[in-house]
Amino acid sequence: MRIRLHRLAALIASPTCLLFSAYCQQKAVPADKSEHSGIVFQEVSPKTSSITWIHDNAQSDQRYYPESIGPGCAFLDYDNDGWMDIFIVNSGPSDFFTPQKPLRNALYHNNHDGTFTDVAEQAGIGDTKSFGMGVAVGDYDGDGWPDIYITAYGRNTLYHNNGNGTFTDVTEKSGTGLSGWFMSAVWFDYDNDGKLDLFAVNHVTYDKSIGCGSSQTGRRYYCMPRVYKPAQSHLLHNNGDGTFTDVSRESGIASVLGKSFGVVATDIDNDGRMDLFVSNDTVPDFLFHNLGNGKFKEIGLEAGVAYSDTGKARSGMGVDSADFDGDGWQDLFVANIDVELFSLYHNEHNLTFIDTPGEIAKDTRNLSGWGLKFFDYDDDGDPDLILSNGYPDDMTGLVSPLTTYREPLLMYENRGGVLHNVSRESGPVFEKKFLARGLAVGDFDNDGYLDVLVCSNGEAPVLLHNEGVHKNHWVGVQLVATASNPDSIGAILTWSAGGAKKRRLKTGGGSFLSAHDPREILGMGNATRMDSIEVRWPSGKIDRVENPPVDTYIRIVEGKGMAPPAGHP
């Protein structure tokens, strides 16, 4: 009943939207500028950043479906110098594409001055061995250095970080070389044994001989996933010796086949076990509830997240999870293709969710969403939301006058648990349109305000610098586990400042094909002193730091408390 009343109220408030969705999107009333946080994102030019890499999507007249999907990207500190570097995935050789010249992934080393240097070749991670899609970053062997897993149409690849600026391909040795068409992946510890396991979503069983087109125009276009057979995603258990075992069947993951795109690891029932929310295209979305003892149960239907409120399966792409209203329970978000509306699922505290998208539904009616992320863009302690969009087929203008191939970014500010569209006040870049796919957030200049990297299909990436008024204060935290999993996925951070108490779960994955800055920035608003930070580790241990330094990064070591950040000035 709640969802029906919510939707009814929205339609009564704006009945014109029923007939003229394009009008509603153009005329959406922006947030009052007097309430806006003053955060503006400035597009960093390639001349300034030295990021000159361009994605090759291999677009052909045959319109092979994988051409339309990548790339993914990541913020990571591969050399542990305290500064976020950038990794971006390129396409590569496949059964439908032979590059005229070798294609390269990009690994941009952060030079600490706002510029980057591509070191992928000397790092040994530049070669594209398959038609690359996404990236997941995690320290799978617990040696303190982040490793890189690349998903692909073809075969996935695991690169071990050697700790000296180079990587080694350990795919064969580790048993992680999944073959098929894999999209997003996430490192997380599903059995709480202190080691990072790996979950990778499989999209469809792709058959290049199946094509789609118009008999009227004689032109081909990219097929919808419904013409292909579904596929099985995979859960790989970390054996602790550098190898992994596929436990998809015994865990219950293999019990359902999907056409999966995105994944986020989160804890939907506060039981200390990480669950998985998976978006699917043209089939129901999945919610894998972690039952313990290595078992998962898919509960998407009973939880209310499998279908739209009209009972239809949608085309889900990007996903994320956060407690957007501060009630202590993790909510879910999924972006869909145009007309289907994006969903913000409120957690009802009983393994069920209600779709409460608010103004996001109206704003995204004619958009197709991919990379997205809940993040505290203004350091007030509440999760805001950025959405990147782009239609998957350049033929869309021939079919629908209400959609465009290139689409705008959207920025939503969290005000008391309600997300308001502040795109018009967030910088000129929000007036542009993109072919966005992957999106990652990270503080590349260590100023305490999270920046954004948007990666577009067949084009150059866009680096957005967060240039807020910096009126709010913050504490950046690097979590260093000793008994819990090395990335501290599942840790709960609680902090108090200025009479306000905030709480955040460290989730895994989220967005689309991408990975984010592993540090947590704890926003304080206009408070000048943080009273305390408490970390409840996945192991059950609790560390508490009193009166930490403000407007800087610190480390909190499991069982030991605060320490200076490694490699940080």
pLDDT digits (tens, 9 = 90+) for 315-360: 999 999 999 999 999 999 999 999 999 999 999 999 999 999 999 9
pLDDT for 25 equals 32
> Measured over all CA atoms, what is the biggest interatomic distance in the chain, rounded to whole angstroms?
70
Please name the residues in contact with 8: beta carbons below 8 A apart, sequence gap of 6 or more: none
Place of tokens 């103004």: 359
pLDDT for 563 equals 86
pLDDT for 39 equals 86
Give helix then strand counts, H and E, for the chain.
9, 41
Structure tokens at 228: 């292909």
pTM for this one? 0.93
pLDDT for 29 equals 33
Beta-bridge partners for 94: none
> 508 and 264 in contact (C-beta within 8 Å)?
yes
Strands, sheet with 116-118, edge to edge from the N-terminal-most edge strand: 73-76, 85-88, 106-110, 116-118
Question: CA 419 to CA 432: how far, in whole Å?
Answer: 22
Place of tokens 């930070």: 533
The dihedral through the CA atoms of 457, 461, 467, 468 has a sign that is positive
Low-confidence residues of the chain: pLDDT under 50: 1-34, 568-569
pLDDT by residue (tens digit) across 231-253?
A: 999 999 999 999 999 999 999 99
> 147 and 160 in contact (C-beta within 8 Å)?
yes
Beta-bridge partners for 131: 153
pLDDT for 4 equals 32
Question: CA 130 to CA 128: how far, in whole Å?
Answer: 6
**CA contacts within 13 A on the Cβ side of 244:** 27
Terminus-to-terminus CA distance in the chain, angstroms? Answer: 54
Please name the residues in contact with 528: beta carbons below 8 A apart, sequence gap of 6 or more: 473, 498, 550
